[in-house]
Amino acid sequence: MTLRGRCASLAVVSGILVSCVLCVWGVPASGAANAPVSSPRNMIIFIGDGCGFNHIAAADLYQYGVTGRQVYEGFPVRLGVTTYSTSGRAGYNRQRAWRNLDYLKEGATDSAAAATALACGVKTYNGAIGVVLPEGGTAPADVRPVENILERAEKQGKATGVVTSVELSHATPAGFVAHTAARGDYVEIARQMIARSACEVVMGCGHPLYGAGGVPRPEGELADAAYQFVGGKELWGQVVAGTAGADADGDGTPDPWALAQSRSDFERLCYVAPPKRLLGIPFSGTTLNQDRPGSALAGPYGVPRNQNVPTLAEMSRAALNTLSADPDGFVVMVEGGAIDWAAHGGQLGRMIEEVVDLNRAVEAASDWVSHHGGWDDTLLIVTADHETGCLTGPDSTEAGPWPELVSNGPGLPPSAVWHSGGHTNSLVPAFANGAGSELLARWAKRTDPRRGPYIDNTDIARAVFELLGS
């Protein structure tokens, strides 16, 4: 079997059927509220950018014809999550949220503020990457950096990393590594990630020699902007030469990155002895597959996919193989970033493809957990930064009711309606399994009339910080 086939077969997870106890959305009913919580050695956090409850349902219905079949939908902890930032609507009104779509569509967070909340445990303004603005302050002059969970993990001697299906210096991965007043400062963010951070793994698109959909850039188009997502032309030259990289282990010696670019590079790194540090930049300037050429409004897989880039599952497995070499464990964030891109464009077919890619990556990670110490050793969280597109079932109106998506059978996209081209304040889902997962359930003090118990996005970071210790 080829490496590609082995990666795919290992991603198949059995035992997806959910017991009757878990058929209702919520949290475990057993266990004392203040019982001791086990700290995991490893933590894997999946973020579906823009991925709401109905985005997952759409992929479910396409894959299986029914909902609830993803491996993470059977996790013991299942919650809703609020996502608001300091720039938008304050709080979440669980009654108004189900009465008028305008309430959901106004004043939503962006991915930068949401990533900062998930990584640092603080609310901040839209556009902020790992920083907060004190009351009365002015950005960027007065911003203050805030520690993120990867930095805390490095202090504990753990390996750390970020993986994404979009540009490596885009908002979500940036929020877990960098600190800057503006998310659009891609050059500075990439320099922090590649030249200054202590991460052992950074993976994402933004390859300067390739444009959207993995199409090679003509030499005449290789202006400075082509290199922005990798920190500029000079830093890219250092990456290719194998000299880029700061001291990651604290021994006073620079630790350069090993560079993976081709799909075969990523496939091989699923299994071979890993490098000390892995920088993975596939042959695509933007996303793995969402913006490939062809009709963006075609049904799922109606346009041939770019086979020259790895899948998110292959990237995840290569990252896990690299990070698990650290005996102290690791913390890694994996983003399905182009779910958001497809939802912004009302591209139901490509959105489904991107959620399916995320699903398969979670399956690969769950399979990895079962073969590397089990759930007593690893915490796995699947969540989102915000909802994009205000996706509902057909025949819905601005004032409701908002019916569920309608299945058209496996292999066909469900009937659904987009109500927005932007972000919303809808609750997003969170699923957790493994050591420490019950900590999230304890913080679910409020209940939504349709989504059940919910927490805030900052609670996810707070839980991880508590499990990491001081």
| 225 vs 350, higher pLDDT | 350
List phi, psi (to 5°) of 49. -65, 120
Antiparallel, parallel or unpaired: β 42-48 and 378-384? parallel
Task: Give 223's pLDDT tier (boundaries 50, 70, 90).
Answer: confident
Other beta carbons less than 10 A from residue 156's beta carbon: 14
CA angle at residue 248 from 242 to 250, to 5 degrees? 130
Dump strand ranges (E) for 68-125. 77-82
> For residue 138, is pLDDT > 80?
yes
CA angle at residue 69 from 68 to 71, to 5 degrees? 110
What pLDDT, in 10s, does the model give residues 155-196?
A: 999 999 999 999 999 999 999 999 999 999 999 999 999 999
Alpha helices, DSSP H, located in 203-273: 233-241, 263-268
Q: What is the pTM of this model?
A: 0.93
Q: Output the average pLDDT for the chain.
A: 92
Q: What is the mean pLDDT of residues 321-345?
A: 98
Tokens 């009709």 sit at which residue?
A: 295
Residue 15: per-residue pLDDT: 33
Other beta carbons less than 10 A from residue 409's beta carbon: 10
Cα separation, 6 vs 280, whole angstroms: 20
Query: Which domains are seen in the chain, by residue range?
Result: 37-468 (3.40.720.10)
* Chain centre to alpha carbon of residue 180: 20
Please report the DSSP string for 375-444 in residue order.
TTTEEEEEEES-EES-EE-TT--TTS--PPPB---TTSPPB-EE--SSEE---EEEEEEETTTHHHHHT-
Residue 14: per-residue pLDDT: 33
Beta carbons of 369 and 378 less than 8 angstroms apart: yes
Cα separation, 416 vs 406, whole angstroms: 7
Alpha helices, DSSP H, located in 165-230: 171-175, 186-191
Reference 340, options 176, 114, 188, 90; nearest CA is 114
Q: Which two tokens stand for residue 256?
A: 């350069």
Give the 3-state secondary structure of residue 8.
helix
Under 8 Å CB-to-CB from 14, ≥6 apart: which residues? Answer: none
Residue 37: per-residue pLDDT: 82
| Paired residues of 32 in beta bridges | none
Cα separation, 57 vs 42, whole angstroms: 29
Would the CA dihedral through 128, 84, 81, 459 be positive or negative? Answer: positive
Q: What is the mean pLDDT of residues 39-65?
A: 98
Reference 382, options 447, 434, 419; nearest CA is 434
Antiparallel, parallel or unpaired: β 278-280 and 378-384? unpaired
Please report the DSSP string for 40-89 in residue order.
PSEEEEEEETT--HHHHHHHHHHHHSSSS-SGGGGSSEEEEEE---TTS-
Task: Give 140's pLDDT tier (boundaries 50, 70, 90).
Answer: confident
Residue 9: per-residue pLDDT: 40
Run of H or E residues at 317:
helix 312-323
DSSP classification of residue 193: I
Residue 384: per-residue pLDDT: 98
Q: Which two tokens stand for residue 109?
A: 């967070």
Antiparallel, parallel or unpaired: β 144-145 and 131-132? antiparallel
What pLDDT, in 10s, does the model give residues 391-419?
A: 999 987 777 778 999 999 999 999 999 99
DSSP classification of residue 258: E
Reference 428, options 381, 382, 380, 386; nearest CA is 386
List phi, psi (to 5°) of 236. -60, -40
Identity of the amino acid at 205: C
Distance in angstroms between the alpha carbons of the first and the last residue of the chain: 46
How many alpha carbons fall within 13 Å on the CB side of residue 7?
28
Beta carbons of 418 and 82 less than 8 angstroms apart: no
Residue 402: per-residue pLDDT: 83
| 324 vs 222, higher pLDDT | 324
| Paired residues of 162 in beta bridges | 202, 333
What pLDDT, in 10s, does the model give residues 4-36?
A: 444 444 333 333 323 222 333 455 544 455 677
Does the bond joining 401 to the residue before it have cis omega, within 30 degrees of 0? Answer: yes
Residue 177: per-residue pLDDT: 98
